Amino acid sequence: MFALVDCNNFYASCERVFRPDLNGKPVVVLSNNDGCIIARSNEAKKHIPMGAPAFKFKDVIQKNKVHVFSANFSLYGDMSHRVMSILEDLAPEIEIYSIDEAFLKYGQSPYLNFQAEGEKISNRIKRSTGIPVSVGYAPTKALSKVANAIAKKFPERTNSVYIIDSEEKRIKALKWLKIEDVWGIGRKNSAKLKLINVYTAFDFTQISPLWVKKHLSITGLQLQNELLGIPNLDLDVYGTKKSIATTRTFERNYSDFDQIKERVSTFAIKNAEKLRRQKSVCNTMMIFVHTNGFRKDLQQYAQNIVFKLPYASNSSIELSKFAVEGLRKIFKEGYLYKKAGVIVMDLEDEKHLQMRLFDNSNPKHKPLMETMDRINHRYGNAKLKLANQDLKRTWKMNQEQLSPQYTTKLSDIITVKSE
């Protein structure tokens, strides 16, 4: 049996934990630079679609008294960590699937009362963190997603816990779920399926597996089996990432090479830190830059470059140097750049590193990086920087509605006064 535990409207709920006066009121959270709406409370969902550009909904926000927050990722990351620690404590096996959801796996235990188990999980999380969750149980991962959707849609009737444990319930649930809401069926595939009269998850389980394999690939076929109740997907508990990216939309246009160089170098250094945290090195790097595609009136340019490094590395100094070399190859004068990014790929364990005959990462960097990481960890991030980073840090994200870092910054911690 699998369970899917999903936090309700996670980012909006995190903001509400420290602003209980906003319970029952519409709340939205914006992306970096206050660009798009990336999370909505139930009350806000009525007025604003997911992913909408914030500036286009200014009037709607004002008219409906929607409370707006800039993304506060250090708060959400910390709250997520608290929720996951509780789940690790309560569940036999766990796969952290995203910042706000986790799959749990239960062995064969016919005596377990899943309704009571789910309520225990949800009560404990609510009491310890203030975050509301929904729990769905089913014999496969895809069906547990379906069960979770039902628990979330009908919280009163289900007490936010739903279990698919019979054929009757499975078929009823699948007939209820629209094809575009099935996990793994996106916009393109649901349009394709509607052309052959597949409108619900149940319809999807009734079509030929050969058609599914041909048009939706092996992943579609696995999904079909999962929805039929045949497990095809197991927990993925292997935690290390296969690629790491740092990409940003700039708060304004840049045309100057040196400004973009400084950002790209900082992205590479961020990646190096993430690599060291998961004890990996990278062999391949990709750099990209592009202009603002929404500005049809401006000259457009987009380019990327992928290159193998001469040796595997997770040194900030080396990765930053390679990133700038890559940028030099794709940068063209005369454009207004709006976005850039650095992605490192082809990762391997730093312990099982294959040494090259001629070129290798400078061994002196390892202790240096360890010291840098230690100091930055102790005194807050980015206290220590490399010389090619702008020490004054002239760029700043637009974050007009940022909430305090209630749980991760000493000066922002709430104080409770007793009379």
Name the residue among 353, 305, 344, 356 with its Cα closest to residue 327: 305
* Cβ-based nearer residue to DNA, 228 or 298: 298
- Least distance from C-beta 31 to DNA, angstroms? 3
Q: Does 158 help bind DNA (rule: CB under 7 A)? A: no
How is residue 112 written in tokens?
A: 């377990």
Interface with DNA (CB under 7 A), residue from 42, 159, 249, 399: 249
Q: Does 294 help bind DNA (rule: CB under 7 A)? A: yes
Q: Cα(199)–Cα(142) distance, rounded to whole angstroms?
A: 17
DSSP 64-101: TT-EEEE--HHHHHHHHHHHHHHHHHH-SEEEEEETTE
How is residue 149 written in tokens?
A: 């959707």
- Least distance from C-beta 370 to DNA, angstroms? 21
The secondary structure of residue 15, as a DSSP letter, is H
Sheet holding 101-105, edge to edge: 93-98, 101-105, 2-7, 133-138, 161-163
* Cβ-based nearer residue to DNA, 24 or 186: 186
Q: Which stretch binds DNA (CB under 7 A): 82-90, 158-166, 168-176, 334-342?
A: 334-342
How is residue 250 written in tokens?
A: 């700039």
Q: Does 81 help bind DNA (rule: CB under 7 A)? A: no
- β-bridge mates for residue 178, sequence order: 200
* Cβ-based nearer residue to DNA, 243 or 371: 243
Interface with DNA (CB under 7 A), residue from 70, 246, 313, 316: 246
Q: Cα(168)–Cα(171) distance, rounded to whole angstroms?
A: 5
- Least distance from C-beta 250 to DNA, angstroms? 8
Interface with DNA (CB under 7 A), residue from 247, 255, 303, 371: 247
Q: Does 381 help bind DNA (rule: CB under 7 A)? A: no
Interface with DNA (CB under 7 A), residue from 46, 55, 111, 400: 55
How is residue 314 written in tokens?
A: 């997770």
User: Mask 117-146, x = binds DNA (CB under 7 A)?
Assistant: ----------------------------x-
The answer to whether residues 369 and 274 touch, using CB atoms and an 8 Å cutoff, is no
Residues 177-236 that bind DNA (CB under 7 A): 182-190, 217-219, 236
Q: Does 244 help bind DNA (rule: CB under 7 A)? A: yes
Interface with DNA (CB under 7 A), residue from 8, 33, 122, 316: 33
Name the residue among 390, 331, 333, 321 with its Cα closest to residue 359: 321
What sign has the CA pseudo-torsion 251, 253, 259, 261?
Answer: positive
* Cβ-based nearer residue to DNA, 145 or 170: 145
Q: Does 274 help bind DNA (rule: CB under 7 A)? A: yes
Please tell me the count of residues contacting DNA according to CB under 7 A.
48
CB proximity list for 377: less than 8 A, separation 6 or greater:
none
Interface with DNA (CB under 7 A), residue from 18, 19, 31, 105: 31
Angle, CA of 184, 189 and 190, to the nearest 5°: 90
Interface with DNA (CB under 7 A), residue from 19, 339, 366, 385: 339
Q: Cα(397)–Cα(252) distance, rounded to whole angstroms?
A: 10
Q: Cα(31)–Cα(39) distance, rounded to whole angstroms?
A: 9
- Contact set with DNA (CB under 7 A): 31-33, 35-36, 38, 51, 53, 55, 97-101, 145, 182-190, 217-219, 236, 241-249, 253, 274, 292, 294-295, 306, 308, 338-339, 341, 343
